[in-house]
Structure 1
Amino acid sequence: MLRLTLKSPLKPPLISSLFLLNPSFFTTTNLAVNHREPPPSATGKSRILSFFLQNHTKGSTNHLQQNPCFKNLIFELNSLEIEGIVEKLSVGNTESALEFFFLLRNDYGFKHSRVSYIVIAHILAKKQRFRALKFHLQYLVQQEGSGSAHSICELLSSRFQKWDSNHVVWDMLASAYSWCQMVNDALYVFAKMKDSNIHASIITYNNLLYSLRHTDNIWDVYDDIKASGINPSKYTNSIVIDGLCKQFLMQKAVDFLRETECRESGPCVVAFNTLMSSSCKMGSIDVAKSFFCMMFKCGLHPNVYSYNILIHGLSVAGAMEEALEFTDDMKKHGLEPNQVTYNVLAKGFHLLGMMNGVWKFVNEMLHKGIDPDIFTYTMLICGYYNDEGIKLKEETGVHASDISDTMLLSSLCKSGRLDEALNLFHEIESSGHKPDPIMYSILISGLCKQGLVEMAFQLYNDMLCCKRILPNIVAHRSILKSFCERGYICEARVLFDAFINCDLMDDVVLGNIMIDGYAKLGDIGEAVQVYQLITGKGIMPTIVTFNSLIYGFCKARKFDDARNWVDTIYSHGLIPSSRTYTILMDAYGEEGKIEAVFELLEEMKARAIEPTHVTYTVIMKCLCRRRQMHESVRILKGMLPDGFQPDEIFYNTIIKKLCEARDMKGAFRLHKEMAVHKLQPSRVTYNILLNGLCTHGELKNAEELFSTLQDVGLMKCDYTILIKAYCAKGSVDKAVVLFQKMIEKGFEISIRDYSAVINRLCKRNLLAGVKIFLRMMLFHGISVDSQICFVMLKSFNHIRDRNSVFQLSSLMMKCGLDTDYNCG
């Protein structure tokens, strides 16, 4: 086992290989040629300008691309001199300016100045070549990177203020930052546009809105659109609805949809599709179907995508009959199922293990002239991953594609079929196809998720030391995270230090994993040391980093230090999340400091940080610890904001506390209240109620609840709860009957299950029952252990049942168990 090799603490070859590899192995060699920049030369500029104008053909620079004379002239000048040429051409020869700029950038790899980029942007804007302008400015902001908005805006304000197309360039620049997910830069450009009285277009607003759709800032942008006098488009409204759905604010999304019905723009099919998709993802298929019906009421016609959303939701839920009905309805409305439709239906049958159904839709695709894609073939191969699957790969030619092998490997790992994934991996190797880092990372990640960290590390080690293939960031993260989760913190630290020493710390995630690992173990000193190490390397911490540190300090009961880290978050330009405050509240609540919990809640609201379901659940737990349950629930309901919809966890927590307080009527009252809020009690809810009834001796009510649970589906723990209650009450016959039913239902029964029952029976001196369970245990092939025998021997000895003592001692010797027990 690998764990034995980790005692020192990591296998030496890994450490040596990480440190001995040349740094050039990890980074791409810089092939750029460094040229000396001569002093500015008017003669040089004129020669290049003259040469270019004389030798290029309008609309084509092909013959200049390989011209060594022209290339040598270019590299004699620096970017400032080239900038002058671009500006000169832009005055009366704009097409030549564009050709010159892109020839130097694309063919010679010349790095233009910002001024040259902005000049070209103005030319494109003036020619109304907006698509080209979009990609041009995207290229610029990607080259300049995050935080570049300030300097580019200063340049636009100082040098280009009076240019005709300046307002278009400003507008497109804001869009470019939004497209590139540099939201803070985009907001800065918007602010500067307002200062200069330049109005943004609705397209640019929509791009910013889309970038901020996961945050509360979405409303600030939307209000700004309305204040600017621009009418929101249907796409604008769809983005807002999508953002609210992404934040799980479904009710607000529905309210917003109703508001838009009265406006000129009104709702559109895209908005309804978004609501349907989000409902399906949350498992609310009926809600999705109601939105589908609402579309018709609003005079809208669902498109193919609308139908595909519902068909996918129904297929994943196993409701294939209804999914097929919607497919027929789709055809009745003049819409033809597309490749996505057939793949979704095939996936539904694949999930049910009905491969004949999969083939039916593949054949229908072929009959209609729709070519199955890689997803279709991968699904078929996964369904038949045996001789038939291998044959299918060869017949379809999918085997030749590295992408298909990667997809198949990923599919097998996701479905937990790791033996087959490993067989496929070895098959790829033996066929001469060299597995790439992505294949390795998929397999390593799959092994780690299944808890097979030792096997994952062996593969990781083989990849690095034997194959000389550098693991990618996914593999690094998977191994490090698994080490921390399994408690191999020393091994994790050695690996982490190797990453640091080999400059493999590309981002903060590896540091966050390490800090979280130390925090959960309560080793806050090491967590802080890792934080100092990564910040010393110039890696910016994230809110995840600080949340882990705060959790660690709370776990160590250093509350003042934990609160100080909130100020550190602000000093790094970050904003605490709801999780930050929830962690603190939970820690103070554990200490019974309810006043501090409410202070944190007020601080949260003052800083415009919205409490979540988890936050209110933590507050409720704090209130319930006061044992004044009804008062606690009253206070809690009074503080909940309008529109707050309690979730299942919220109710389960209160129900559990009511059960602990022996208020079973209150617990069942809340259970009924869940239905009012359209929440379906889960098996966890019923398990809490059943445990409450059994704990407080209400066995008749427990039996009635147990009987009703037959429809919901019983878990093994439901059986064991009632069996333990029967043992405590001395109802041995009922315990035996229920235990036998548990076995018949196919639940895995271990020695621990027998031990729990026998211990309780021994405590009640119900030794006849003990003998029944002992015989049942031996009948089902489960060997007795010393602990159970000693408990029984003690009970038999207590009532002076000498015959049973000697029989059991004899059984222990036959089973090879230690009989060193004082029988008195």
Structure 2
Amino acid sequence: MLNKWTRSLRFPIKPPILTSLSSLIFSKLSVSSASNLAAAATTPIAQISTDPVHAILSGFRDLGFRQFVSGHYFKDLVLMLNQAQMDDVIQSLSVENADFVVDFYHLLRNEFGFQHSRGSRFVVSHVLARKRRFKDLRLVLNQMLQEEGTGSAPLLCKLLFSSFKSWDSSNVVWDMLAFIYSRFGMVHDALFVLVKMKEQNLRPSIQTYNSLLYNLRHTDIIWDVYNDIKDSGAPQSARTSSIIVDGLCGQSRFQDAFFFLRQNDGKEFAPSVVSFNTIISRSCKLGLADVAKSFFCMMLKYGILPDTYSYNILIHGLIVAGSMEEALELTNDMEKQGLQPDMVTYKIIAKGFHLLSLMSGAREIIQKMLTDEKVKPDLVTCTILICGHCQMGNIEEALRLRRDLLSSGVQLNVILYSVLLSSLCKRGLVDEALQLLYEMEANSLQPDLVTYSILIHGLCKQGKVQQAIQLYKEMCFNRILPNSFAHSSILKGLCEKGMLSEARMYFDSLITSNLKPDVILYNIMIDGYVKHGDIEEAVRLYKKLRDKAITPSVVTFNSLIYGFCKNRKVVEARRLLDTIKLHGLEPSAVTYTTLMNAYCEEGNINKLHELLLEMNLKGIEPTLVTYTVVIKGLCKQRKLEESVWLLEDMHAKGLAPDQITYNTIIQCFCKAKDMRKAFELLDDMLIHNLEPTPATYNVLIDGLCRYGDVKDADCVLVSLQERNINLTKVAYTTMIKAHCVRGDVQRAVKVFHQMVEKGFEVSIKDYSAVINRLCKRCLTNEAKYYLCIMLSDGVTPDQEIFEMMLNAFHRDGHVHSVFELFAVMIKVGLLHD
């Protein structure tokens, strides 16, 4: 059967190096005593006329191995040996003293760097095989095959057959040779060795067959090897059937795997838990949880009891398939069968809760582990669960889990605390994060660089720069060298708080220290100057950066371009775009978008389109902000249809427009008095699951009041109130002004009261705007009414309000009202008697 595997194989045949080893006839030295040999050790090498092979063999006989090889005489003799003589020594020693030959072989290789011939290697291999030193045998053949490489089997087999056929333990050497070829993945060589063994009636071991099966498990040749195992009568193992089952499952041939198990039922190598575990594991890895379940049930029908590993792999497969409930049921079944869930089980379930974002059920698992005397939660499981809670935003549950673990005596590590600190800082709970830091230190845990960096960054984001600096000093005191992340956090925090002079002092101290110059620090400082309007200082810092031979990044140029655009120096900003290219850098979408926005503000739409075209040619994908800027430019040109097309193009490219993009177009349609289209865009937002902002409704209400019908605006306001949509004060003041302009004071007063009921603070400015509109509409009585409301609410009118009303009363000839107003002014202290 094996012969047909090799019919199509072609091996490069190398010329044999070693001919048959001749027998060595030992002759006695004329000086054989130990004393004479000791004396010879001092004799110069030029005076030694003895045959070195003869001398070495005699030395081993008379002095023993250790004493002889430790002398200079031995070393001199070894250096005189050629390859053939070395082979003679090893051949002779294999007959005289098997222990000496192995030690001599390794000594020459390891101490003298001698490259042994194939013949010598096989001599030593047979000696080791005879002494059943299989580990050393494997080492010798390993080294040999690593040097010989693939395709060497024909030459080695020829040498073995011609020179070692009658040696004891030859079968073991042949078998080990085939085994190692297989382990090295040289399958064709292994098959060739097996063919030659079969020709000599030598039987390979089941370990060799299994190794070969494993390499061929994904091919049809596996059946030829398996049939040869049966024909040879080699005792099969559970590993044999397991490999075949694994190979079939790897080819998704689960039905064949099942038939194979059935065919072997009742035999010596009948289906075992290992075989079924193999099928279940492979099914789960392929995502076939249902197939895995069916084999699990089949195992029970065969009367084979699943082990903990069986349950664990199926539980894991079910979780990956999203069937968390079934996985938990299987865990309960496991306990009913008398199998205790182990750490792996709990770890799998914990990972499942994390994977499926079902962290609410994790508490029960932890409680089970805490009450189980045999299984205590390890740090990996704890980290998985705490990370899961933190990623789900449930920091409270993560902290509660931490308390449970600490109370149960589980010692947390720095990594777990860092995860908690990061989550707290992201939610702005920096004070709580600092408390955890103190808890770490109380538990004898030394915060590391990551811990400090997280807290420093969190404090800076909250504007608590002084506290961040204190923590920075503590970190340095503890001999933890801060990294660029900590430095940049503090520097950014100072810039964002507007403390530019302090930021510059800190920046200069970093640059003048031994710290490696970092473009990120320069970028933060340049950006700080730009955002606070000091473009000149930003440019000076940029020049310093170049003087220090630090390569600027695209971020550097983006900040400068933004600064120039902010100062309406678009020409200088445009020049920087070319400078970016001179530095071998590629402008980013932010670069182009910043410039495009500046051109849009100037009304230079042609330049905007030029930049957009350049972006497309360079293959730079426009961002959401880029689209919004272009849409704003189109709207300014009253190209509303084009702006809507661009909106549709965004959806087509999978780039979801945000509320700002929609609000920009909606406002333009309102100004164009096309309220129908404006509300269609509102519907489009809702269709795409985009929640309109209060600003969206403000724009629509204002559009209806200005360009549509105020009654429609009233209807929209009532509808939004009924749906409990959050509105801002702007929506109410817009409606009040609109009703005042149209003389509907009653409705204006009603909306005014609604605004007050919603809890919005009504300022003098709000009252002034309403009274001004009423006075202009000659509705002086209504203006007096609002003045009364103002006074009753405890808001004191200012001089401007009184002047507006006095002018209106004089104009309309309401003299009595003028005197009433004087009286009020005297009362509030704005006029004396």
TM-score of the aligned structures, taking structure 1 as reference length: 0.51
Give the aligned partner of residue 373 of structure 1. 382
Give the aligned partner of residue 418 of structure 1. 430
1:513 equivalent to 2:524? Answer: yes
Length, aligned pairs only:
500
**Do 1:543 and 1:569's aligned partners in 2 also have CA atoms closer than 8 Å?**
yes
Higher mean C-alpha deviation, range 422-431 or range 513-522: 422-431
Deviations 1:257-282 (A, max 9, x none): xxxxxxxxxxx989xxxxxxxxxxxx
Deviations 1:664-691 (A, max 9, x none): 2221233334466675655553343233
CA distance in 2 between partners of 1:548 and 1:605 (Å): 23
1:604 equivalent to 2:601? Answer: no
**Do 2:369 and 2:376's aligned partners in 1 also have CA atoms closer than 8 Å?**
yes
Give the aligned partner of residue 561 of structure 2. 550
Give the counterpart of 1:363 among 364, 367, 376: 367
Give the aligned partner of residue 161 of structure 1. none
Counterpart mapping for 1:536-575 below 5 A: 536-575=547-586
Question: What's the offset of the Cα at 1:699?
Answer: 2.8
1:665 equivalent to 2:676? Answer: yes
**Do 2:476 and 2:482's aligned partners in 1 also have CA atoms closer than 8 Å?**
no
Give the aligned partner of residue 475 of structure 1. 486
Residues 738 and 545 from structure 1, CA distance in 2 versus in 1: closer, same or farther, beyond 3 angstroms? Answer: same
Give the aligned partner of residue 786 of structure 2. 770
What's the % identity of the aligned pairs? 34
Higher mean C-alpha deviation, range 616-625 or range 412-421: 412-421
**Do 2:564 and 2:573's aligned partners in 1 also have CA atoms closer than 8 Å?**
yes
Counterpart mapping for 1:389-400 below 5 A: 392=404, 394-397=406-409
**Do 1:553 and 1:562's aligned partners in 2 also have CA atoms closer than 8 Å?**
yes
CA distance in 1 between partners of 2:789 and 2:580 (Å): 59
Q: Which amino acid aligns with 1:376?
A: L
Question: What's the offset of the Cα at 1:470?
Answer: 5.1
Give the aligned partner of residue 685 of structure 1. 696
Query: Secondary structure, in 3 states, of the residue corresponding to 2:510?
Result: helix
Counterpart mapping for 1:373-772 below 5 A: 373-374=382-383, 376=385, 383=396, 392=404, 394-397=406-409, 401-428=413-440, 435-450=447-462, 452-457=463-468, 459-460=470-471, 463=474, 471-505=482-516, 507-630=518-641, 632-633=642-643, 636=646, 643=653, 647-648=657-658, 649-674=660-685, 681=692, 684-696=695-707, 698-710=709-721, 713-717=724-728, 719-730=729-740, 734=747, 738=751, 749-750=760-761, 753-764=762-773, 765=775, 766-771=782-787
Give the aligned partner of residue 328 of structure 1. 325
Question: What's the offset of the Cα at 1:442?
Answer: 2.3
Alignment gaps of 5+ in structure 2: 1-71, 80-109, 118-144, 151-284, 288-314, 333-344, 776-781, 810-816
**Do 1:697 and 1:725's aligned partners in 2 also have CA atoms closer than 8 Å?**
no
Residues 615 and 823 from structure 1, CA distance in 2 versus in 1: closer, same or farther, beyond 3 angstroms? Answer: farther
Q: CA RMSD in A?
A: 4.9
Deviations 1:433-470 (A, max 9, x none): 655444333233223323x3344455356537877765
Q: Which amino acid aligns with 2:396?
A: G
CA distance in 2 between partners of 1:423 and 1:810 (Å): 55
Q: Which amino acid aligns with 2:716?
A: L
**Do 2:599 and 2:608's aligned partners in 1 also have CA atoms closer than 8 Å?**
yes
CA distance in 2 between partners of 1:809 and 1:454 (Å): 51
**Do 1:581 and 1:604's aligned partners in 2 also have CA atoms closer than 8 Å?**
yes
CA distance in 1 between partners of 2:722 and 2:146 (Å): 68
**Do 1:723 and 1:735's aligned partners in 2 also have CA atoms closer than 8 Å?**
no
**Do 1:683 and 1:713's aligned partners in 2 also have CA atoms closer than 8 Å?**
no
Question: What's the offset of the Cα at 1:533?
Answer: 2.4
Residues 701 and 364 from structure 1, CA distance in 2 versus in 1: closer, same or farther, beyond 3 angstroms? Answer: farther
**Do 2:596 and 2:608's aligned partners in 1 also have CA atoms closer than 8 Å?**
yes
**Do 1:492 and 1:514's aligned partners in 2 also have CA atoms closer than 8 Å?**
yes
Query: Secondary structure, in 3 states, of the residue corresponding to 1:338?
Result: helix
Bigger CA radius of gyration: 2
CA distance in 1 between partners of 2:446 and 2:668 (Å): 57
With a CA cutoff of 8 Å and minimum separation of 6, indicate the structure with the bigger relative contact order.
1
Q: Which amino acid aligns with 2:768?
A: N
Query: Secondary structure, in 3 states, of the residue corresponding to 2:621?
Result: coil
CA distance in 1 between partners of 2:146 and 2:800 (Å): 88
**Do 2:425 and 2:454's aligned partners in 1 also have CA atoms closer than 8 Å?**
yes
Higher mean C-alpha deviation, range 462-471 or range 528-537: 462-471
Residues 627 and 414 from structure 1, CA distance in 2 versus in 1: closer, same or farther, beyond 3 angstroms? Answer: same
Question: What's the offset of the Cα at 1:768?
Answer: 4.4
Question: What's the offset of the Cα at 1:589?
Answer: 1.4
Question: What's the offset of the Cα at 1:406?
Answer: 3.0
CA distance in 1 between partners of 2:708 and 2:593 (Å): 36
Residues 410 and 657 from structure 1, CA distance in 2 versus in 1: closer, same or farther, beyond 3 angstroms? Answer: same
Counterpart mapping for 1:165-314 below 5 A: none
Q: Which amino acid aligns with 2:433?
A: A
**Do 1:480 and 1:510's aligned partners in 2 also have CA atoms closer than 8 Å?**
yes
Residues 587 and 328 from structure 1, CA distance in 2 versus in 1: closer, same or farther, beyond 3 angstroms? Answer: same
Q: Which amino acid aligns with 1:757?
A: D
Alignment gaps of 5+ in structure 1: 1-46, 55-85, 94-122, 129-267, 271-300, 309-325, 350-356, 779-783, 812-818
CA distance in 1 between partners of 2:514 and 2:640 (Å): 55
**Do 2:421 and 2:433's aligned partners in 1 also have CA atoms closer than 8 Å?**
yes
**Do 1:658 and 1:667's aligned partners in 2 also have CA atoms closer than 8 Å?**
yes
Q: Which amino acid aligns with 2:414?
A: D
Q: Which amino acid aligns with 1:770?
A: Y
Question: What's the offset of the Cα at 1:616?
Answer: 2.7
Residues 305 and 607 from structure 1, CA distance in 2 versus in 1: closer, same or farther, beyond 3 angstroms? Answer: farther
Question: What's the offset of the Cα at 1:339?
Answer: 0.9
CA distance in 1 between partners of 2:706 and 2:359 (Å): 43
Residues 428 and 363 from structure 1, CA distance in 2 versus in 1: closer, same or farther, beyond 3 angstroms? Answer: closer
Query: Secondary structure, in 3 states, of the residue corresponding to 2:679?
Result: helix
Residues 429 and 594 from structure 1, CA distance in 2 versus in 1: closer, same or farther, beyond 3 angstroms? Answer: same
Q: Which amino acid aligns with 1:414?
A: K
**Do 1:346 and 1:361's aligned partners in 2 also have CA atoms closer than 8 Å?**
no
Query: Secondary structure, in 3 states, of the residue corresponding to 1:487?
Result: coil
Q: Which amino acid aligns with 1:763?
A: N
Give the aligned partner of residue 133 of structure 2. none
Query: Secondary structure, in 3 states, of the residue corresponding to 2:763?
Result: helix
CA distance in 2 between partners of 1:303 and 1:691 (Å): 57
Deviations 1:63-96 (A, max 9, x none): xxxxxxxxxxxxxxxxxxxxxxx9x989999xxx
Query: Secondary structure, in 3 states, of the residue corresponding to 1:373?
Result: helix
Residues 738 and 89 from structure 1, CA distance in 2 versus in 1: closer, same or farther, beyond 3 angstroms? Answer: farther
Give the aligned partner of residue 9 of structure 1. none
Give the counterpart of 1:342 among 350, 353, 367: 353
Give the aligned partner of residue 102 of structure 2. none
Question: What's the offset of the Cα at 1:500?
Answer: 0.9
**Do 1:307 and 1:330's aligned partners in 2 also have CA atoms closer than 8 Å?**
no
Residues 453 and 810 from structure 1, CA distance in 2 versus in 1: closer, same or farther, beyond 3 angstroms? Answer: farther
Question: What's the offset of the Cα at 1:373?
Answer: 0.8
CA distance in 1 between partners of 2:655 and 2:440 (Å): 51
